[in-house]
Structure 1
């Protein structure tokens, strides 16, 4: 899966998780929504791990446990993309 596709999927899962979290704030007893939230966050965490394994950390504190190199400096900076 390409870097861009993985990022789009992560963004979509993040939006779903936030939406479910907001719903659960007002409907804390909704078991179906809670299970959906658990499933979405589990999918997000797995996809994030896959992304970070392949392309490096998503944040400056990332979730990677080891680094062979600081590979994020090898990618183009956002203003260098065309």
Structure 2
């Protein structure tokens, strides 16, 4: 059974995708510029923001990661659809 999703669901997913893009790009940059203090600070800043946004998403809509990296509500919420990659 699919849940009815509100605008906030899509807003949070879009925000997570944008933050993940920034983190991947900074990660690649830091692979070749490991002493760039500004880039490291930006990476850490975006990593913290991602944790907050992911926590906000998961508290409303369920887990994003598996194998203990995300908590589950009761009842077990892994079979609740749609999953983030289905929207």
| Range into which the TM-score falls when normalised by the shorter chain | 0.7 to 0.9
Q: Which runs of 5+ in 1 are unaligned?
A: none
Is 1:27 aligned to 2:25, yes or no?
no
Q: Which runs of 5+ in 2 are unaligned?
A: 1-6
TM-score, normalised to structure 1's length?
0.81
What is the match of residue 8 of structure 2? 2
TM-score, normalised to structure 2's length?
0.77
Higher helix share: 1
Alignment of 1:55-74 (within 5 A): 55-61=61-67, 62-64=69-71, 66-74=72-80
Runs of 4+ in structure 1 deviating by more than 2 angstroms, as ranges, are: 59-62, 70-78
Alignment RMSD (CA, Å): 2.0
Query: 3-state DSSP class of the match of 2:79?
Result: helix
CA 23–76 in structure 1, closer or farther in 2 if over 3 Å, else same: closer
With CA pairs under 8 Å and 6+ residues apart, which has the higher RCO, 1 or 2?
A: 2
Using the alignment, how far apart are the partners of 2:82 and 2:37 within structure 1?
A: 44
Using the alignment, how far apart are the partners of 2:73 and 2:21 within structure 1?
A: 29
